[in-house]
């Protein structure tokens, strides 16, 4: 059984290398695409700098920087809030500023 598992692992590693080098295309069912918010575009549409935007949405300046550089992705309530701001930046930001 151990030999069978090793052979399967080796075949997977070789397939990964073939895909990475472009000599093989991955099967469609194995391709995953994750949608992420363009936080920088959302913030810029709000007319705020990073510090102001972070304060308005209740996040840290570092989090906003990480989201904008795509090192991290917002999740949970923050993702929902950013989606609402994206849909109507002026209205949502004005409501959040006076909360």
What is the residue extent of each domain of the chain?
Answer: 1-30, 39-97
Do 42 and 85 form a contact (C-beta atoms < 8 A)?
yes
pTM: 0.68
pLDDT value at residue 3 = 87
- Residue-wise pLDDT for 26-61, tens only, equals 988 888 887 889 999 999 999 999 999 999 999 999
What letter does residue 97 receive in the DSSP assignment?
H
Cβ count near 43 (within 10 Å): 24
Q: Which pLDDT does position 33 carry in this prediction?
A: 82
Q: Residue 98: what pLDDT?
A: 79
Q: Report residue 82's pLDDT band, with 50, 70 and 90 as the boundaries.
A: very high
Instruction: Pick one of 1.10.260.40, 3.30.465.10, 1.10.760.10, 1.10.510.10 as the CATH number of 39-97.
Output: 1.10.260.40
């Amino acid at each position: 059984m151990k030999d069978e598992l090793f052979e399967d692992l080796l075949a997977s590693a070789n397939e990964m290398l073939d895909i990475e080098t472009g000599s093989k295309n991955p099967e469609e069912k194995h391709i995953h695409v994750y949608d992420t918010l363009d936080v920088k575009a959302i913030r810029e549409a709000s007319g705020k700098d990073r510090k102001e935007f972070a304060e308005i949405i209740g996040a840290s300046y570092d989090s906003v920087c990480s989201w904008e550089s795509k090192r991290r992705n917002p999740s949970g309530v923050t993702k929902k809030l950013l989606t609402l701001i994206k849909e109507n930046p002026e209205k949502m930001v004005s409501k959040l500023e006076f909360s």
